[in-house]
Amino acid sequence: MYSLLRRALFMLEPERAHSLALAMAQVAHRSGLLFRTPDEPQPVIAMGLRFANRVGLAAGFDKNGRYVDALAALGFGFVEVGTVTPRPQAGQPLPRLFRLPQSDALINRMGFPNDGADVVAARLARRRSKSMCGAVCGVNIGKNASTPNEQAIDDYVACLRKLAPYADYIAVNVSSPNTQDLRQLQRIDHLQPILEALLAERDALAASTGRRIPLLTKISPDVTQDELLDLARMMMRLQMDGVIATNTTVTRPGVEDDPLRAQRGGLSGAPLRPLALRTVETLRSVFEGRIAIVGVGGVGSAADAHAMLEAGADLLQIYTAMIYRGPRLVHEMVREIRRLTS
């Protein structure tokens, strides 16, 4: 069925198609046609959280927290909202999302379009009070494009303070290629003070509420091996809860002949897989099971999911493969992982 729907959606501009697909899922969920099945008999425990299964939906699919329960009903064990910034912003000018169907890939330069932390927090608060859905909901946070890097800490802390009460975990996005100079924040001298401030704020919130929120960092696949090792060791020192590996790449592996390769932005999908797997393998060698790894990048089949877990991921996320394969992919992955781990 999805192959027919995809054919119709692919006749539309990508962002319009995405919005339409989300609206359809929401209508199906609210009408009772789409509902969450009972949780797996053997849930996964990671970062102190209970995941119904290991397959999650990456940030960017539901930027503003409008569709969490509808998306979870597709079979995901967790859904990550965002990226959310302190103040609303429109993102980059259109067009900013491009399909590369020959490569099962996308290029995007979205630039964190979102409704802002106050609006998203209110939306997630309403969801939390009404939802019967057991799926984990994470929130991915970033800085506003207009905020200088020197003031980035203030943006990240503001987002954490507003969104943590309604999130199951917080992911710190310093690796998107679509906000000018954002990736400079991955340098140890920039990132460590940001994470230290967030950890302190998280611990203060935990002391006052009794609820501790896991904190993760989302990293780029484009850092060098030495930079990656330095990042991993720093996260070990700070005792971070997890890392999401990886964001999109500004390189163009495997799409050198595609006419859209020259579009600015981050490449996701199948061509990203080798970079993501290599990153996860390196992180595993440093973390040795002490920090959770969420593997994302080019996971487009049950075999890819198995390979990501074998590389060292504890959980995994998909995004681009949902565009090309549809919801059936989620169930295929969950079944295969269950078979391999039973």
Rounded distance between C-alpha atoms, residue 252 and residue 265, angstroms: 10
**Residue 176 annotated in active site:** yes
Both tokens of 1, joined, read 């069925």
In contact, 198 and 181? CB cutoff 8 Å:
no
14: left (phi over 0), alpha (psi -120 to 50) or beta: alpha
In contact, 57 and 318? CB cutoff 8 Å:
yes
Rounded distance between C-alpha atoms, residue 75 and residue 333, angstroms: 10
Distance of CA 41 to the CA centre of its chain: 25
Peptide bond into 214 cis (omega under 30): no
Active-site residue among 103, 176, 220, 268? Answer: 176
- Residue 67 CB-half CA count within 13 A: 24
**Residue 125, H or E segment:** helix 117-130
Degrees, nearest 5: CA angle 65-66-69: 90
Kindly list the catalytic residues: 176
